[in-house]
A and B are shown apart, each in its own frame.
Chain A
């Protein structure tokens, strides 16, 4: 049992207004100034700013309210409790596994703390192609700076763990520049368990920062409550219908419903889920943009066996990166990729490493000496990388149809090559590109030849994602996006979107700080339009 203070349980004792799940039945009707769907990066920032401005806010979260006392650093507990579909969400053809949070704090509760401002090249592309002239580096800088102060985003001063330092050393040997990743932590214990919920409250997720602030200012939080659909009339959202759900998302209590009536609604349930609410509501979509252009930063991985112990479960999960393969080529040319290292725990390893029986057992036996790199492919900047489309199952649940095009998969091959080369340069004894048709290889020359021959097909090359973006894209005109540059829906005047579904392309970097910065700007504008007291995040 952890001896750390638990700010959530303390807040509940102070009388926070929390309903749903184990916190009591949902009210039948709620009337408020602003209802926010979701409690992750965009929702949290928005909730704090609106609540501080004196507005009456209700937050609707489908997942449970878990906190540091619950976070025991065990995959068996964390994945079912804190992730969408028990961390096994898949694209429609099952070729991509998606890690996405589903709990109070959303993905910020389980992410690996990597914090990057939106890259200038990405903003330039949005300005040029999506009519977002006001999205310049300079215009956004103050909003990022506030988010960085609020969430203690700062350089990570401790030494990288070996899994990350191998990325640095391999790149150095090849003459490739690397950088240190900034992290949103305060008093981090360097445990490496970020993906299972921070047990020490060091990670400055929405769970321990903005959501508590909003609740202290009188906001209401509905947990285990799914936003089902809006009712529209006269170009406005009249109400939002929500249902209480069990831990596995099934409607509970015969689908007892809660109706929320608000002056304004903010959709921030994350990409895939936010467009799904609008699809269920049959929201106006005159240009067929809704749910389209959903991006994933498709990830491929390379596993290496080192002579020395790596112990990739220990220490800050991500502290080193290289953008060499993004910055040395045009953004709209062949797909580029960012290289990082992931945290390594038994379930992640066993489900990632290909094969079964004695062959896979042989790979797993070297777990403590295994080093893994991942490549995030920058999707959405080329007409052969249009991303995926969110659709609805017959029961209204969401699914992403994301075809892995040949253009993307050839980028994946280049990424496997780059990672193998780098790992051998760092001293790897063996390298295994994560692919069903691959086997461990003992030299760069051998790997180069073998990777060149791998069939780069879905369901053979292992592809995963932890960054879901787009689907309610920003656009400078009605034909270019679902949402206006101020975050308001082009066809529904009292509905805004403040989450990762806003991005018109992928970000080209881990998206959390991009969401914080964007939501910060949009929410400050919303406060003013609703007549609240002007607020800055920090």
Chain B
């Protein structure tokens, strides 16, 4: 099945890459044995910084620490996913970590570590409202992973007024 999913997503993303004029960049997976690779960790930190602006602590050190916590939780979530979902996440993150993939799927010119928050959010909206199901699906996946992982952390609760469960 992994092969089949690869073919399916591979075909569609290959077409996106071709449209964008990208060469067939060799795709490095975003997960290695279920764990986020170093580039994928950077990707999710950048996405978190942009997607959670307004919810993250404003103070730079606290923000950095919150983003590290986010990446750790995404790593934990990834490990627990079944194989076919891991394969999809690995392809998505892997693709976004290549320059042609980033351009084709997200429409983002600058790298994840140098793009401004506004540029990343504009890229995300491009995916969110795209006429191409693959780009919409990618946005929805990132929205769920980043938002879900961040707000599952107890340190995120106070900012949204959630007191946490009643102690028993």
Q: How far is the CB of A247 from chain B (nearest CB, A)?
A: 6
**Which of B18-26, B96-104, B153-161 interfaces with chain A?**
B153-161
Whose C-beta in chain A lies nearest to the C-beta of B117?
Answer: A357
**Cross-chain contact of B165 among A73, A364, A392 (Cβ < 8 A):** A73
The answer to whether the Cβ of B109 comes within 8 Å of any Cβ in the partner chain is: no
A350 touches B53 (CB 8 A): no
Using known A-B contacts A94-B140, A346-B162, determine if residue A76 contacts B152 with beta carbons closer than 8 Å.
yes
The answer to whether A88 touches B144, judged by C-beta atoms less than 8 angstroms apart, is yes
A357 to B124, CA, bound (A): 10
Residue in A72, A350, A393 whose CB lies within 8 Å of B5: A393
- How distant is B68 from chain A, measured CB to nearest CB, in Å? 16
In the complex, residue of chain A having the shortest beta-carbon distance to the beta carbon of B144: A351
How far, in Å, is B128 (CB) from chain A's closest CB? 6
A459 contacts B137, C-beta separation under 8 Å: yes
A-B contact count (CB 8 A): 141
Tell me, yes or no, whether B65 is within 8 Å of chain A by CB. no
* Identity of the chain B residue whose Cβ is nearest the Cβ of A345 in the assembled complex: B162
Residue of B whose beta carbon sits closest to that of A358:
B54
Interface status of A175 (Cβ within 8 A of chain B) = no
Given contacts A76-B152, A94-B141, A436-B128, contact A394 B55 (CB under 8 A): no
- Give A32 Cβ to nearest chain B Cβ, in Å: 28
Which residues of chain B from 123 to 168 have any CB-CB distance to chain A below 8 Å in the complex? 124, 128-129, 133, 136-137, 140-141, 143-144, 146-148, 150-154, 156-157, 159-162, 165-166, 168
- Max chain B CB contacts within 10 Å: which of A73, A88, A346, A368? A346
Residue B17 at the chain A interface, CB threshold 8 Å:
no
Q: In this complex, what residue of A is CB-closest to B118?
A: A357
B contact residues around A384 at 8 Å (CB)? none
Query: Does B121 reach chain A (CB closer than 8 Å)?
Result: yes
A3 to B167, CA, bound (A): 11
A174 on interface, CB distance cutoff 8 Å: no
Contact A248-B81, Cβ < 8 Å, known A347-B148, A436-B129: yes
A364 touches B160 (CB 8 A): yes
The residue that A351 contacts in the complex, of B121, B143, B165, with Cβ under 8 A, is B143
Contacts of B156 in A (CB 8 A): 346
CA distance A256 to B156 in the complex (A): 42
Interface string of A1-43 (1 = CB under 8 A from B): 0111000000000000000000000000000000000000000
Q: Would you call A129 an interface residue if the criterion is a C-beta within 8 Å of the partner chain's C-beta atoms?
A: no
Whether B79 sits at the interface, judged by CB under 8 Å, is yes
Q: Which residues of A contact B27 (CB under 8 A)?
A: none
Q: Report the Cα distance A259→B154, complex, angstroms.
A: 44
**In angstroms, how far is the closest chain A Cβ from the Cβ of B80?**
4
Residues of chain B contacted by A437 (CB below 8 angstroms): 129
- Which chain A residues (62-104) contact chain B, with CB distance < 8 Å? 72-76, 79-80, 85-86, 88, 93-94, 97
- A sample of 9 more A-B contacts (CB under 8 A), given A360-B55, A365-B161, A396-B1, is A76-B153, A85-B82, A86-B77, A200-B168, A247-B80, A346-B157, A393-B1, A394-B3, A395-B2
21 contacting pairs across A/B (C-beta < 8 A): A93-B137, A94-B140, A248-B34, A248-B80, A248-B83, A248-B86, A313-B165, A356-B121, A356-B147, A357-B54, A360-B147, A361-B53, A364-B55, A365-B54, A365-B161, A367-B161, A393-B4, A394-B5, A395-B2, A399-B84, A436-B129
- Chain A residues with a Cβ under 8 A of chain B: 2-4, 72-76, 79-80, 85-86, 88, 93-94, 97, 189, 191, 193, 199-200, 247-250, 313-314, 345-347, 349-351, 356-358, 360-362, 364-365, 367-368, 392-397, 399, 436-437, 459-460
Which residue numbers of B lie inside 8 Å of A, CB to CB? 1-5, 34, 50-55, 73, 76-77, 79-86, 117, 121, 124, 128-129, 133, 136-137, 140-141, 143-144, 146-148, 150-154, 156-157, 159-162, 165-166, 168
